[in-house]
Amino acid sequence: MSTARLTEILKQLIGNGFKAGIFALKDGLPIASQNNKNVNDKMVAAMAAMLADTAERAKADLDLSNMESIKIVYEDACILCRNINVAEGGNSYLLAVLVDKPDSDEVEKYHAQLMDWAVDNGRPILQKLSAL
């Protein structure tokens, strides 16, 4: 099943130090999620949807192109959000994660590489889901 594969991708992120991860519709409706027991992954999805909505309003108001990613840095954590377009002008999804604040540029690059990997591996599955 497609959502099981998305869950496996998220498990890999959690196994590499992320606190929570979720694939969601652009409105925040979760498709697949994983977390360590201390994080409400549904809240991460809701926050990502709110951020994506704000980005869409900025796009319209400022005549910008499509949002690619959002990063919010706190003293102790980061919310990373990627927009995943599955077809030109078609459906798009969100990958949102919660991770500890990186303590070096190398760790930040590693987080970016993991996000790239998750998007690259999740996109074909999301394309199939969009075709249903």
pLDDT tens per residue, range 22-39: 999 887 788 998 987 777
pLDDT-based confidence at residue 108 (cuts at 50, 70, 90): very high
Parent domain of 39: 2-131
Q: Domain count of the chain?
A: 1
Which CATH number goes with the domain that contains 76? 3.30.450.30
Burial class, 62, CB count within 10 angstroms (exposed 0-12 / middle 13-18 / buried 19+): exposed
Find the mean pLDDT for residues 56-70.
87
pLDDT digits (tens, 9 = 90+) for 75-91: 999 999 999 988 766 67
- Of the two residues 27 and 124, the one the predictor is more confident about is 124
39 vs 16, more confident: 16
The CA-atom distances, in angstroms, between 75 and each of 21, 47, 79 are 20, 17, 12
User: What whole-number distance in Å separates Cα of residue 91 and Cα of residue 73?
Assistant: 28
